[in-house]
Structure 1
Amino acid sequence: MTKPDMTTTAPPKARKIGIVLFKQFETLDVFGPVQMLGRLPDYQLVALSESGASVTSSQGLSAGVHHSFATAPKLDGLLVPGGQGTRREIDNPAMLDFLRLQSEGAAWIASVCTGAALLAKAGILDGKRATTNKIAFDWVAKQSSEVDWLRRARWVVDGRFWTSSGVSAGTDMALALVAHLYDRPTAQETARRAEYVWRDDPDDDPFGIASEKGS
């Protein structure tokens, strides 16, 4: 007697979060949020680069991707990291056009650190409140005078736009995003499983205070 096939294939997750990668992205800008977003039951993480080839972070880590910009699916959420590579990418029409295209239909768009410079240069943050890395704040703010840049904020939410301060702040913002998409207990449990102490107050920004004092 033939035994029934008990194997099952999990259905594809309904929604997709695009992680935009480029040469010299900041590692923690990506993998901090990925740690918190990667177990969401309704979302699939999709890594993207312009050519579809793997890219190397500022720390020398090579990261593979799922799609090129040309083959990317419609995204429900979009995460844009920072890093030294943003200095080059602000002048890359392919990057800016891709961000504009995907942001039109995404339910939310988030940046970490100097990733806000790319959103600002693309015009996506026009008329919105936003923040960024405090060390690079002035450089990022120069990318658009149409943005209300906040010097003191761990992260900022303005409608469907989420922007965080430097590097580690992206992980705190990602947990706030989990709470927004699901609920606070889910975010707290996600942090607990990672043994991570969530700084859950977006106004708790000691680096921003230092920036305001001019240091």
Structure 2
Amino acid sequence: MNIVFVLFDNVTQLDFAGPVQFLSRLPGATTYIASTDGKAVSTDCGFAIVPNTSFADCPQADIICVPGGHGVREAIANTAIVEFVREQAKAADWITSVCTGSFILGAAGLLNGKRATTHWAYTQLLPLFGATHEEARVVRDGNLVTAGGVTSGIDFALELMALAKGEDVARSIQLALEYDPAPPFDGGHPSRTARPLVEGLKARVYDKAAADMEAAICATLAAT
């Protein structure tokens, strides 16, 4: 089983690091971390990730996963990235994304008519790619699996492992990696967070970020 992660500059590292830590432990799996030229990509945490393949040398994926991050705005306009995802998806068993990586799937024409999710601050943009937002941490529509923001990538990985290799395998890996979340606060989603906190964060960060993402999506769609 070939698992391919598609990376680009200014990726959110946990969008990638969470799922790859879990999925790489699937029995019989080989993990390929691909960037356009195989060279290091920057993350939003101030360090780089070194892939182990380029798009040209990457084999066909059984599972393709696209993480998100602020770099998505540039990635959806990058023909090499979008074409690589589109071509890989044609023969992949599972087409997946974490957070705003869903918009790269959208740019590749893979969300049209599908149910999907993304980070809560950007869900209103999914219809731009013909998708219907479903309120869930992980959404499966056929062989398309999209996860919400950042940490939901771990939940997505466990669900996908259960689908691919059975629940016992997924449970064993969950135990091995001691994924037993017990956060100190109840409020990782707007529906469970005090409204002033939600509105404050949106005003400081996500109103502009979502507007910038929308502008990038519209520009990409206009160019196609």
Q: TM-score, normalised by structure 1?
A: 0.83
The alpha carbon displacement at 1:61 in A equals: 2.3
Helix, strand or coil at the partner of 1:28: helix
- The structure carrying a bigger helix percent of its residues is 2
* Partner residue in 1 for 2:191: 209
- Within 5 A, what are the aligned runs for 1:51-200? 51-138=37-124, 140-141=125-126, 143-144=128-129, 146-150=130-134, 152-197=135-180
Report the Cα distance in structure 2 between the residues aligned to 1:120 and 1:78, rounded to whole angstroms: 14
Aligned-partner Cα distance in 1 for 2:172–2:86? 34
Alpha carbons of 1:208 and 1:118: their partners in 2 closer, same or farther (altered >3 Å)? farther
Counterpart of 2:217 in structure 1 is: none
Residue 43 of structure 1: aligned partner = 29
CA distance in 2, matches of 1:103, 1:119: 9
Distance 2:28 2:83 in 1: 27
* Preserved contact between residue 127 and residue 133 of structure 2 (Cα < 8 Å): no
For 1:82 and 1:19, how far apart are their aligned partners in 2? Answer: 11
Kindly state the Cα deviation for residue 63 of structure 1 after the two structures are TM-superposed: 1.1
Instruction: Name stretches of at least 5 consecutive residues in structure 2 with no aligned partner.
Output: 200-224
Alignment coverage as a number of residue pairs: 192
Extract unaligned runs of 5+ from structure 1. Answer: 1-14, 200-204
Show CA shifts across 1:57-110 (max 9, x none): 111221111221122111111010000100111111111111110000000011
RMSD: 2.1
Amino acid at match of 1:209: S
Does the CA contact (< 8 Å) of 1:191 and 1:198 recur in 2? no
Moved over 3 A (4+): 208-211
Tell me if structure 1 keeps the 8 A contact 2:115–2:133. yes
**Structure exhibiting the larger radius of gyration computed from Cα positions:** 1
